[in-house]
């Protein structure tokens, strides 16, 4: 980091200090490889392997985006991020989760059953027309990729076991997506990683969960479901990362034309209350 950039970061830190928005707790650790950055020690040694990385998040925010359509079914969006500092996003290392349809995530977490059948989406359709498992209440988990351990667990998408919380599959094309950028420690490269695999398991998603009653007795999620300010957001996660070349190549089932500029995986958790404030938005 140059002296001028360091001075700017310090000045911005002074402007943003003391803001209540961003309080929370969580972790995000794993291994990351990024060309031209501090995580490419392996490349310097002639190896194509990532190095340990710890986000050490200190800022947690959720940005609700209301669907203003006049149809009966809404798809309100929720953008969640955890950062290594309290600065604007262009000066932070940040891990993002983009919930494109809060209603569907709420149905997944509600875990309501009707005549023994799930009242939520169990699969989603990929751009090539194939189906991928999405919301899993079976007590198993999604395996990783690129050597990411999954503890020997698999995904059957069934109802054999009702776990304490569901697991949602992360892809670049479905209702919950994730991305990662190192604009604080590696802003010179300006490369964003996308989660082409992984999972997130929400424990709290506003008022979605109803674990105090059996699945058959749980209420339907209202079509206009939204998360209110002051409500809790809590989840565990594992994201498997690559750049757009890797994501596109995997989708097309072809070899990538060049090595990924960024990759690896991160796992951890976050726990915070949704709060209103400008510092929770990535724009003024």
CA distance 256 to 253: 9
**Global confidence as pTM:** 0.81
The per-residue pLDDT for range 74-92, each reduced to its tens digit, is 578 999 999 999 999 989 9
Helices (H), 111-177: none
SS3 content of the chain, % helix, strand, coil (to 5): 15, 35, 50
Q: Is the pLDDT of residue 150 over 50?
A: no
pLDDT tens digit sequence for 113-138: 999 999 999 999 988 888 889 999 98
Q: So what's the pLDDT on residue 18? A: 39
- Spatial contact of 225 and 102, defined as CB atoms under 8 Å apart: yes
Helices (H), the chain: 3-16, 41-44, 102-110, 244-252
Give the burial class of 123: count Cβ atoms within 10 A of its Cβ; 0-12 exposed, 13-18 middle, 19 or more buried. middle
Give the three-state DSSP class for 98.
strand
CB 80 within 8 A of CB 57: no
89-104 confidence digits (pLDDT tens)? 989 999 999 999 999 9
Q: Which residue has better confidence, 164 or 144? A: 164
Confidence category of residue 251, pLDDT binned at 50, 70, 90: confident
- Model confidence at 46, pLDDT cuts 50, 70, 90, reads very low
pLDDT digits (tens, 9 = 90+) for 184-200: 988 666 789 999 999 99
């Amino acid at each position: 980091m140059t002296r001028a950039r360091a001075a700017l970061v310090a000045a911005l830190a002074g402007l943003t200090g003391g803001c209540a928005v961003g309080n929370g707790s969580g972790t995000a650790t794993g291994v990351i490889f990024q060309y031209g950055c501090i995580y490419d020690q392996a490349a310097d040694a002639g190896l194509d392997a990532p190095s340990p990385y710890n986000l050490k998040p200190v800022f947690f925010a959720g940005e609700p985006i209301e669907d203003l359509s006049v149809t009966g079914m809404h798809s309100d969006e929720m953008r969640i991020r955890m950062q290594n500092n309290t600065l604007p996003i262009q000066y932070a290392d940040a891990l993002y989760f983009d919930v494109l349809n809060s209603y569907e995530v709420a149905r997944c977490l509600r875990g309501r059953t009707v005549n023994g059948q799930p009242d939520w989406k169990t699969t989603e359709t990929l751009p090539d027309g194939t189906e991928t498992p999405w919301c899993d209440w079976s007590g198993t988990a999604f395996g990783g990729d690129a050597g990411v351990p999954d503890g020997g667990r698999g995904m059957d998408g069934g109802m054999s076991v009702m776990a304490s919380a569901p697991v949602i599959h992360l892809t670049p094309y479905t209702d919950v997506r994730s991305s990662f950028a190192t604009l604080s420690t590696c802003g010179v490269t300006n490369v964003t990683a996308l989660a082409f695999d992984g999972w997130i398991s929400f424990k709290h998603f506003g008022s979605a969960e109803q674990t105090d009653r059996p699945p058959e007795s749980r209420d339907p999620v209202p079509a206009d479901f939204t998360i209110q300010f002051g409500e809790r957001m809590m989840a565990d996660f594992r994201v498997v990362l690559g750049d757009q070349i890797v994501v596109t190549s995997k989708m097309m089932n072809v070899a990538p034309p060049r090595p990924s500029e960024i990759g690896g995986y991160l796992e951890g958790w976050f726990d915070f209350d949704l709060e209103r404030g400008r510092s929770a938005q990535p724009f003024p």
